[in-house]
Amino acid sequence: MNLNKIKTYFIVDYRGIGKNEAVLSIFPEIVFNKNQYEEVRAAIQEVRKRFDGLYTSTTQSILWITISVNLTGFPKKCHDEIIECLVTELNNVTEIQKVIINVGRPVADNTKVEIEDDDECGQSDWNQVLGLTKLSLNYMVHAEGLEGECFIYSVYFNDYTADEEKADVVKNAINSYDFKLKGNDYIGYLDVSIDKNKVSIYLDLGNVELQNENNIIHGILLAINSIHGIKKVIINEGCL
């Protein structure tokens, strides 16, 4: 595939396509909105008009949009052409930062995480995608990946101990925080528990209005920012 012949205003990272499948992971400059979802759908429809019988499925959040492309039924010589057409049509979608063409589930980047100390966390593309680098916090925060609409915040304390008292302090801080939500004030399903030497915050954004997702993801971190003794928070720890 020669993507050099396609002029795009966004970065394209090509990592190959499978025998009969490919996934296009689309990342926004900041976050996606409803207009951009519609623009992506329109782009897909233009390609499907050209390639009759092409099957695609789309998943979306404010943080990314993925297009899974089933290439079954098309000769191999058409596979590159289909993907090239999709990339070309995505030029009509506003405020895209990057598109990764990859086999399998969506990924952010191969950029290695720089470790500051043996037990400290550095920066990665996920920190930028989630907007974590823009937050002013009293502790270090790092995101290792995404698991759809679910987020697990691993809260580590300076003394590396966790008990019911610390879990209650975290829970109370979140419950009393003003997330400044618009419309529906539902922040999603939330559970705070103790997991060995850390406090674990489980957040499921299912049924949350899209316009509020970013405020909630950041709000959890800001809510616990005043708690004394937090060393670091890792989001979706161990997510590959």
In this predicted model, what pLDDT tens digit does every residue of 206-220 receive, in sequence order? 888 877 888 999 999
pLDDT of 195: 93
Q: Provide the pLDDT for residue 148.
A: 67
One-letter amino acid identity for 147?
E
Three-state DSSP state, 129: helix
Over residues 113-172, the pLDDT tens digits come to 332 333 344 444 678 778 888 899 999 999 987 776 789 999 999 998 999 999 999 999
Predicted pLDDT of residue 103: 57
Residue 199 has pLDDT above 60, yes or no: yes
Both tokens of 109, joined, read 């980047």
Which residues are CB-neighbours of 77 under 8 A, at least 6 positions away? none
The rounded distance, in Å, linking the Cα atoms of 231 and 72 is: 50
pLDDT at 118: 32
Q: Answer yes or no: are the C-beta atoms of 224 and 173 closer than 8 Å.
A: yes
The tens digit of pLDDT for each residue in 41-96 reads 999 999 999 999 898 888 888 888 889 898 888 998 899 999 999 999 999 999 99
Residue 215 is given by DSSP the state: H
24-48: b (≥16 Cβ within 10 Å) or e: bbbbbeebbeeebbebbeebbeebb
Q: What are the C-alpha distances in Å from 39 to residues 64, 65, 87, 210?
A: 14, 11, 13, 16
Note the pLDDT of residue 15: 80
Distance CA 189, CA 71 (A): 37
Residue 139's nearest CA partner among 154, 118, 125, 124 is: 154
How many whole angstroms separate alpha carbon 173 and alpha carbon 122?
26
φ, ψ for residue 8 (rounded to 5)? -125, 150
State yes or no: pLDDT of 104 exceeds 90. Answer: no
**pLDDT at res. 218:** 95
The pLDDT of residue 94 is 95
Contacts of 113 (CB under 8 A, 6+ apart): 121, 122, 123, 124, 142, 144
User: What is the per-residue pLDDT for 82?
Assistant: 94
